[in-house]
Amino acid sequence: DSGVTQTPKHLITATGQRVTLRCSPRSGDLSVYWYQQSLDQGLQFLIQYYNGEERAKGNILERFSAQQFPDLHSELNLSSLELGDSALYFCASSGGLAGLNEQFFGPGTRLTVL
């Protein structure tokens, strides 16, 4: 158990819909990262937040957005969903007592868009 929690574990929805994925980082970790893993693209970085502020952006679509709240949990919002958005979405955290070197990943949310 990495200490990072993600909900829900599975999500099935239809094209055009909007969903919210939630992540709670390890206690004390200030950085939260979101990654997407699809069959054809592998693990891709989407966005990072540090202590409530956006720190870095990767291959994140304009239809996707995220935020980190004062209690450091983060949400990834995916809107106008397309079939190609079906993927595993992982959240990771770092920057706590374990130092800056490791990122700890959650178990992921499997999104299926029908």
Tokens standing for residue 66: 């995220």
Cβ-based nearer residue to other proteins, 17 or 27: 27
Give SS3 for 8: coil
Among 8, 82, 100, 112, binds other proteins (CB under 8 A): 100
Q: How far out from the chain centre does Cα 30 lie?
A: 14
Tokens standing for residue 100: 């800056």
104 touches other proteins (CB under 8 A): yes
Number of residues that bind other proteins (CB under 8 A): 30
Among 39, 42, 62, 70, binds other proteins (CB under 8 A): 42
Helix (H) or strand (E) holding 29: none
Among 64, 90, 111, 113, binds other proteins (CB under 8 A): 90
92 touches other proteins (CB under 8 A): yes
Which residue, among 9, 7, 14, 8, has the nearest Cα to 86 in the 3D structure?
Answer: 14
Contact 82, 66 (CB under 8 A): no
What residues line the site for other proteins (CB under 8 A)? 2, 4, 31, 33, 35, 42-45, 48, 50, 55-56, 58, 88, 90, 92, 94-95, 99-108, 110
